[in-house]
Amino acid sequence: MATGVLMLTGPTAAGKTALAMQVAERFDAEIVGADSRQVYRDMPIGTAAPSAAEQARVAHHLVGFLDPRERYSAARFVGDALDAIAEIQARGRRPLVVGGTGFYLRALAGDVTLSPLRDDDLRARLAREARVHAPEVLHAWLTALAPQRAGALAPGDRYRVARALEIALAEREDAEATRRDESVPRSLRALGIPFRKVYLAVDPATLEQRIAARVDAMLAGGFLEEAERTGGSAVAADAVGYREALAYLAGWSNQVELRIALIRATRRYAKRQATWFRREPELLRVPPAGAFDDVSAVAAALPGWS
């Protein structure tokens, strides 16, 4: 049987990176990032990407490799992650998938259907629709076309709802292409690779403190300069905090207001993550106290990890 895959997730600022480093060093594992913004280059502060020192200690994949102007999709992530996992397994190492982008993790596991179909004309049309209509209108349209996909997405998630609509409409026009795509395994489950999903469950009061501390560290570490370099036109600039930083740089807020806005935006994102993972199938929740021992026990039960 193939070496199993351990998936570690949780809300932003929960302490996933530090825990993942401990687990990776304990089990001779390599880390595969599952964060939709840590994939981008030159944005380590705002995305809380693993540091250069951490990446020197443990091999990382899918971190800091993409131009911030390039769009990344869940379908592309699954393909990239499966390639990285296969390489890690071939070297006799253990794959540890770490990140807080719930849709990526669900897609990698095989608990949601994806399609790589792309139609630029259709995408442009949907972009126009998104400018005119509220995201809830697009979500209702998606529900009529593909209720299962719609159920996996938040109505306010404008980008992913539009992408799902693009796929649903393209599939309707090209059913044969869809059947060919669905015949190819595109997930851990389809490939028969064992996996376990673990969620680092931090209580709200502690998470609030962690978020405030992270924001202060970001500001002290050069986040404003990073946001200015990234610019507002980059795809990656929709990551949490960059809009607020660019507004401050444009003179629309002061330092106190900026800090409050960054904490608020990060807190809201953490709440959205918590809401998502409440619906996540086969998810084991562990508290921070004793998390290393709990996660290690889960890991040791996976094929090839003991």
Tell me, yes or no, whether 79 and 198 share the same domain.
yes
Instruction: Say yes or no: 248 and 288 in one domain.
Output: no
State whether 41 and 77 are in the same domain.
yes
**Is 305 inside any structural domain?**
no
| pLDDT one-digit tens code per residue, 226-253 | 999 999 999 999 999 999 999 999 999 9
Q: Which tokens belong to 224?
A: 């404003």
Are residues 40 and 163 located together in one domain of the fold? no
CATH number at residue 91: 3.40.50.300
Q: Are residues 82 and 198 in the same domain?
A: yes
Band (172; pLDDT cuts 50, 70, 90): low
Residues 198 and 96 in one domain: yes
Question: DSSP of 112-157, one letter per residue?
Answer: S-------HHHHHHHHHHHHHS-HHHHHHHHHHH-HHHHHTS-TT-
* Amino acid type, 249: L
Whether 83 is covered by a domain: the verdict is: yes
What's the domain range around 137? 120-173
One domain for residues 168 and 156:
yes
Whether residues 109 and 125 share a domain: the answer is no
50's CB contacts (< 8 A; 6+ apart) are 17, 31, 33, 38, 60, 63
Residue type, position 279, single letter = R
User: Based on the structure, what is the number of domains in the chain?
Assistant: 3
- pLDDT digit string, tens, across residues 45-98: 999 999 999 999 999 999 999 999 998 888 899 999 999 999 999 999 999 999
- pTM flag (> 0.85): no
User: Is pLDDT larger for residue 74 or for residue 194?
Assistant: 194
Question: What pLDDT is attached to residue 178?
Answer: 43
Q: Looking at residue 218, which CATH number applies to its domain?
A: 1.10.287.890
